[in-house]
Structure 1
Amino acid sequence: MPRKRATGAARPYPYRQKRRMKDGTVKIVERWKVELSLGGGRTKQITASTFRECERKLKEARARLNLTGSADAPDARPVRHYTALFLSDAQRRVAPKTYDIYQTAARRIDDAIGDMPANLVKASTVRELEDSYASTPGSQGFLHTALKQVLDLVVEDGLLQVNPSRAITRGRRQTSLIESKRKAFSVPELKMMLMQASALPLDTAARLWFRIFTGTRRGEIVGATVDDLHLDGTTPWYAVRWSLAEVSRRHGCGRRGRAGWPCGHRYASACPEAEWILPDGMRLRHVVGRFWLKPPKSGKERTVPLVPMLAQVLRSYLDYTASWPNPYGLLFRHEDGSPITPDEDTADFKRLLVSCGMDPEERTGHETRYSAVTLLRRAGVDTKTVLEIVGHTTMAVDDIYRTVDMEEKAEAMNELGESLQLPKGLLPGADGE
């Protein structure tokens, strides 16, 4: 039985052990032993060469047991070991653009705490790291998401009992704050945008009209294909099956050494054996250079009915661009057939905002999606239909996109006043009948 103090706590006790020496002789040495109760009738033996060392190891094991649920000495693997595992997994499951963002977040985590033993990460460590990016809410949000997944891997390995980042919600609150600043364009603003766009060259005007009337995402606009446009029949429609995305490459020349990569180039794009970073199982179609067509953000196809005015504009646009080469099958393209990049599309929309007297630093093209959701909901379209049209996966996201303008608020309050049906003579200052 383990020796115990008067308080009932186990204490180290000596025992003798035979030890064979290098010269072949056997020597009897004194060592110290103590048993730590793990609960449920289980115990762990702790041994050391001295009483003080044994007592120290007991104290450390008891602290680990209370903190992590395990008395075993933790693995000394650093945080960067788990960021590498996280990126390896993300590469196989997320879209290329998301992987690029995760790479940046993982690099920031490694720069800050990469060499720290993973079992020593605490909530205060997470707060300090995220606070260093407090001035850039978007970066802080992605950093929070990545760190949460990295530390989930640490928990799975048993180095931490709980994930300290899951107790911190500031990353989600920052994201919600960004969302709350966005709002739908009002009906007068949309009319002005459509009128101003009509004065532009038809290839640009048609793309801007397509954005406003369909509520599609930027990548889905520049990634639209001719084969998915259906203008015949009583109800013209477009099938959203693709989104244009930029895909990064990694070095394929071997492992990086102290002198750099074996190919001698710093950037993967210059490596003769560079490999595309593509998620496993994702349906992708190469366009040109770093641009690929991938499925929409929701992961599933959807159909968007086209209003008659837009269908008419698109018919004119197809006639206008009939002689333009189209090697990639894109609906919107340059005159030489090359794709319109997402950045070019954003620049065109910002110029449209300026021509309408709006500040392009305060309004974004993504807010046309808010407009689509708001107008559809205002028209009484049911939630499921709205989700199908704009490509949202949950009602919660749809509710975030739904905004209420002053005109709609005024109509609601007028209905409130009329529903009370107060006699006119009751109104303060009104003449009685």
Structure 2
Amino acid sequence: MSKSKRSPYGDGGLFKRADGMWVGTVEIPSADGNRRQKRVYAKHKTEAKRKRDDLRAEVAKGVIPVSSTTTVAVWLRRWADDIKKPHVRPNTFDWYDEAIRLHITPHIGTRKLRHLTAEEVRYMLRQATTPANAQRAHKTLKMALKDAVREGLIGRNVAEAVERPKHLKQTRGVLISDTAKTAIRAAIDLEEDDETAPALAARWIAGFLTGARPAELLGLEWDRVDLDNGLMDLAWQLQQVDKAHGCGEPQGDAYPCGKKRASFCSQARWDLPAGFEYRECVGTLLWTRPKTQAGTRLVPIVEPLRVMLDRHRQRPGPNPHNLVWHRPDGRPLTRHDDAKYWGAVLKAAGLPKVDVYAIRHSTATLLQELGVPEETRMVIMGQSSVAAHRMYIHVDQTQAKTALNRLERLLLSSAGSVVGAIK
């Protein structure tokens, strides 16, 4: 006897149970090739047939219905941990993870993924504490739902129907030449007055005269500083990266090691994307490569800075990691340390608070005022796109454009007076 021919995926049946409930069934394809069945229920035959036909239409379009227990929170966790994390840098993953934990899941996490509506997304965005957080939540959810559509879990990305929240991005501060010189002078005075503090005057001056990112300077090692030829190799940056539990999968909220935080796990490990290049420093600090090829670059060291670095290198004290700048006991400086010590410089200089990236922005501004061609500025700053570079340009309307040689003399004489002050 020949076997009956199977109906194609997506076809379904309709029958009445003994309790009078009507059941519609649709065949669903699975990754292992086996058949599984999705069912819908209704008290009346007409309603059950409508539900079955709707489900069959979704399957025909490639939408694979998710489990009725799959919530927004469950999908976002899978999306972040299994789909995005293996392919993005740790800082990028942390950006998504924070949006999920703090701004999305608390408000719509229990909602079923298939039933999420645009109005619920708007509700979630209204709960955000700041416009920036709302924008982050919207972007993250939109990306996660786009992948859910691509995998056939849902038929429509409802976040696309919700307008992106408006957020007026704050412009980072910038120091013009006079205020930059004031900050440099204050940094020199602080270094001379407090022998117990980290020797960071040259770090701030290097920031102004190279445009390097904070992480690039914090991770700079002496074997990448060529004082003889006046070159600085910015091929690595120092970043803080969280470790993951290595003791096994959690059972609920508890890990086999008994510790909640991965940093306390005796088998803690790095959970980084395949091919992610790094070198261990100490604790959770890693040397990592810049995220773009343009970030890996050689930067010229102007003579006044070369003299300062040469003198800085001769300072006594432990330095187990061969770092150019570090704490007095030799430990690396974190980005939080960097921000704290920069704040002390501004306070001593009597200048308003601006974040440490203001140094890099100031370099971009001064280069622009010099009339340096954009492509040359991008090489110096280590930027891969014109749009990225233009985000760093702040035109000071109170200061007229000056000729290249005039501003060059101003910068060198400023740096030269600093060098003379520490001799």
Which TM bucket (shorter chain)?
Answer: 0.7 to 0.9
Contact 2:210/2:299, CA 8 A, preserved across alignment? yes
2:371 paired with 1:376: no
Contact 2:80/2:97, CA 8 A, preserved across alignment? no
Counterpart pick for 1:405 among 386, 396, 399: 396
- Cα distance in 1 between the residues matched to 2:269 and 2:333: 24
Judged with a 3 Å threshold, the aligned counterparts in structure 2 of structure 1 residues 278 and 51 are, in CA distance, closer, same or farther, namely: closer
Alignment of 1:54-203 (within 5 A): 54-58=46-50, 61-62=53-54, 75-76=67-68, 77-83=70-76, 84-108=78-102, 109-133=104-128, 135-168=129-162, 170=164, 173-174=166-167, 177-179=168-170, 181-201=171-191, 203=199
- 3-state DSSP of counterpart to 1:404: coil
TM-score (normalised: structure 1): 0.74
Cα drift, residue 110 of structure 1: 3.0
Cα drift, residue 240 of structure 1: 0.9
- 3-state DSSP of counterpart to 1:286: strand
2:306 paired with 1:311: yes
- Cα distance in 1 between the residues matched to 2:386 and 2:91: 25
**2:296 matched to which residue of 1?**
301
Deviations 1:76-110 (A, max 9, x none): 33223322232223332223233333322222333
- 3-state DSSP of counterpart to 1:292: strand
Counterpart pick for 2:219 among 211, 223, 226: 223
Judged with a 3 Å threshold, the aligned counterparts in structure 2 of structure 1 residues 216 and 16 are, in CA distance, closer, same or farther, namely: closer
Contact 1:218/1:366, CA 8 A, preserved across alignment? yes
Tell me the amino acid that sits aligned with residue 52 of structure 1.
Answer: H
Alignment of 1:214-293 (within 5 A): 214-233=210-229, 236-258=230-252, 260-293=254-287
Judged with a 3 Å threshold, the aligned counterparts in structure 2 of structure 1 residues 16 and 355 are, in CA distance, closer, same or farther, namely: closer
**1:343 matched to which residue of 2?**
336
TM-score (normalised: structure 2): 0.76
2:358 paired with 1:367: yes
Contact 2:190/2:345, CA 8 A, preserved across alignment? no
- 3-state DSSP of counterpart to 2:202: helix
- Cα distance in 2 between the residues matched to 1:169 and 1:47: 35
- Cα distance in 2 between the residues matched to 1:278 and 1:60: 43
- Cα distance in 1 between the residues matched to 2:327 and 2:265: 29
- 3-state DSSP of counterpart to 2:391: helix
- Cα distance in 1 between the residues matched to 2:101 and 2:40: 41
Listed as ranges, the gaps of 5+ residues in structure 2 are 1-12, 25-37, 193-198, 403-423
- 3-state DSSP of counterpart to 1:273: coil
Cα drift, residue 129 of structure 1: 1.7
Cα drift, residue 393 of structure 1: 2.0
Tell me the amino acid that sits aligned with residue 223 of structure 1.
Answer: G
Tell me the amino acid that sits aligned with residue 407 of structure 1.
Answer: T
Judged with a 3 Å threshold, the aligned counterparts in structure 2 of structure 1 residues 377 and 62 are, in CA distance, closer, same or farther, namely: same
- 3-state DSSP of counterpart to 1:124: helix
**1:52 matched to which residue of 2?**
44
Tell me the amino acid that sits aligned with residue 397 of structure 1.
Answer: A
**1:329 matched to which residue of 2?**
322
- Cα distance in 1 between the residues matched to 2:23 and 2:290: 65
Deviations 1:203-235 (A, max 9, x none): 2211111122222222112111111112213xx
Contact 1:373/1:390, CA 8 A, preserved across alignment? yes
Identity rate, percent: 28
Question: Greater CA radius of gyration, 1 or 2?
Answer: 1
**1:210 matched to which residue of 2?**
206
**2:416 matched to which residue of 1?**
none
Cα drift, residue 73 of structure 1: 5.5
Deviations 1:169-193 (A, max 9, x none): 535x42xx234x2242112111211
2:384 paired with 1:393: yes
Cα drift, residue 258 of structure 1: 4.1
- Cα distance in 2 between the residues matched to 1:403 and 1:16: 68
- For these two proteins, the number of residue pairs brought into alignment is 366
Tell me the amino acid that sits aligned with residue 341 of structure 2.
Answer: D
Listed as ranges, the gaps of 5+ residues in structure 1 are 1-14, 22-28, 34-45, 412-433
- Cα distance in 1 between the residues matched to 2:62 and 2:291: 41
- Cα distance in 1 between the residues matched to 2:291 and 2:322: 20
- 3-state DSSP of counterpart to 1:190: helix
Judged with a 3 Å threshold, the aligned counterparts in structure 2 of structure 1 residues 223 and 166 are, in CA distance, closer, same or farther, namely: farther
Tell me the amino acid that sits aligned with residue 220 of structure 1.
Answer: E
Cα drift, residue 260 of structure 1: 2.1
- Cα distance in 1 between the residues matched to 2:111 and 2:253: 25
| RMSD across aligned positions (CA) | 3.5
Contact 1:229/1:239, CA 8 A, preserved across alignment? yes
Cα drift, residue 304 of structure 1: 1.7
